[in-house]
């Protein structure tokens, strides 16, 4: 992958600028800096390797050179879009999910709020960050990391959620730039539906673990809640039915299948 190949593969997409790095600390940091310097809507940052990639909840995201896809898209939301800032995060996850389903016939799901799973294993992480100047929004950065090849998949004992890669599901090699173009097509397509009823319905349809019992780790240490996934409420919160029969909405946390009970 290089900048010339990127420009050729992304021709026709509304990408305003392309910034390619052989290695960088974080594509999100680069994209946010570009926003602060006046970069236009649709500025793309791609790196072959990241040394300080970040995930949700302060976790690290390792980008393996040649085997993973790491990129950030800097956007300048319109005034109507600024009313739906919280939905840029699921938009990124849905874009990856849709690209895998529509262009590669790979069954993918979104683990609330935005991780992408194949066969219940994580192949994609998303980190969306807003850039502010005082009370004025400068822009939003959509950071996406995808495990493309097997070398990008960490061992199960090194991750909190089991991982996989796209090539395992495809059963063949995949050019990363091809997948990048597919995901960006979906990002720009879904953006027009941001915050709409159609967007909410699509998110629900692609939601992993719906109807199943899960455990949600809250932001506080050791805080968990168990419940059955009912769906997503209009604000983007996860709806859970507790064992008591009551329903709650979870605004933040990490979802995994609830461990099976053992013993009598």
Mean pLDDT of 230-250: 94
DSSP symbol at 201: H
The structure tokens listed for 63 are: 């980008």
The structure tokens listed for 102 are: 């529509």
> Residue 59: what pLDDT?
56
Lowest-pLDDT choice from 75-79, 152-156, 167-171: 152-156
Q: Tokens 């397509």 label which residue?
A: 189
Confidence bin at 260 (pLDDT 50/70/90): very low
The structure tokens listed for 162 are: 């089991």
Lowest-pLDDT choice from 53-57, 75-79, 257-261: 53-57
Confidence bin at 211 (pLDDT 50/70/90): very high
The structure tokens listed for 21 are: 């790095």
Confidence bin at 218 (pLDDT 50/70/90): confident
Mean pLDDT of 6-22: 94
Higher pLDDT, 27 or 255: 27
Phi and psi angles of residue 116, each rounded to the nearest 5 degrees, phi first: -110, 130
> Residue 50: what pLDDT?
83
Count the neighbouring beta carbons within 10 Å of the beta carbon of residue 164: 18
Say if residue 259's pLDDT is above 70: no
> Residue 55: what pLDDT?
52
The answer to whether residues 229 and 238 touch, using CB atoms and an 8 Å cutoff, is: yes
pLDDT digits (tens, 9 = 90+) for 48-61: 988 865 555 455 65
Say if residue 41's pLDDT is above 90: yes
The answer to whether residues 119 and 169 touch, using CB atoms and an 8 Å cutoff, is: yes
**Contacts for 48 with CB less than 8 Å, ≥ 6 apart:** 1, 21, 22, 23, 63, 65, 66
Higher pLDDT, 157 or 199: 199
The answer to whether residues 27 and 45 touch, using CB atoms and an 8 Å cutoff, is: yes
According to DSSP H, which parts of 88-175 are helical?
A: 88-104, 166-170
> Residue 52: what pLDDT?
65
Say if residue 184's pLDDT is above 90: yes
Lowest-pLDDT choice from 101-110, 121-130, 151-160: 151-160
Task: Quickly list DSSP for 8-35.
Answer: HHTTTS---EEEEESSBS-HHHHHHHHH
Query: Model's pTM, two decimal places?
Result: 0.91
> Residue 156: what pLDDT?
81
Q: Could you give the CA distance from residue 42 to residue 141 in angstroms, rounded to a whole number?
A: 10
Q: What is the residue-averaged pLDDT of the chain?
A: 90
Confidence bin at 219 (pLDDT 50/70/90): low
Higher pLDDT, 55 or 72: 72
Domains of the chain: 3-205 (3.30.930.10), 213-257 (2.30.30.100)
Confidence bin at 220 (pLDDT 50/70/90): low
């Amino acid at each position: 992958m290089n900048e010339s190949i990127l420009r050729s593969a992304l021709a026709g997409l509304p990408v305003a600028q392309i910034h390619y790095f052989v290695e960088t600390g974080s594509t999100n940091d680069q994209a946010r800096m570009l926003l602060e310097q006046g970069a236009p809507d649709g500025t793309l940052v791609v790196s072959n390797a990241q040394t300080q990639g970040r995930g949700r909840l302060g976790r690290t995201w390792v980008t393996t050179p040649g085997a993973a896809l790491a990129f950030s898209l800097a956007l300048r939301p319109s005034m109507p879009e600024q009313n739906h800032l919280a939905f840029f995060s699921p938009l990124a996850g849905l874009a990856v999910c849709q690209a895998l389903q529509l262009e590669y016939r790979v069954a993918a799901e979104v683990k609330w709020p935005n991780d992408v799973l194949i066969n219940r294993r994580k192949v994609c992480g998303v980190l969306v960050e807003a850039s502010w100047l005082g009370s004025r929004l400068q822009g939003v950065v959509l950071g996406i990391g995808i495990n493309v090849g097997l070398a990008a998949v960490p061992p199960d004992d090194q991750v909190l959620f089991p991982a996989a890669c796209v090539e395992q599901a495809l059963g063949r090699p995949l050019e990363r730039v091809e997948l990048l173009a597919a995901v960006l097509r979906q990002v720009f397509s879904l953006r027009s539906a941001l915050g709409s009823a159609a967007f909410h319905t699509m998110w629900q349809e692609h939601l992993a673990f719906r109807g199943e019992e899960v455990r949600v780790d809250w932001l506080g240490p050791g805080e968990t809640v168990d419940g059955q996934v009912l769906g997503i409420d209009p604000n983007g919160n996860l709806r859970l039915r507790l064992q008591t029969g009551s329903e709650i909405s979870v605004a933040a946390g990490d979802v995994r299948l609830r461990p099976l009970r053992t013993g009598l």
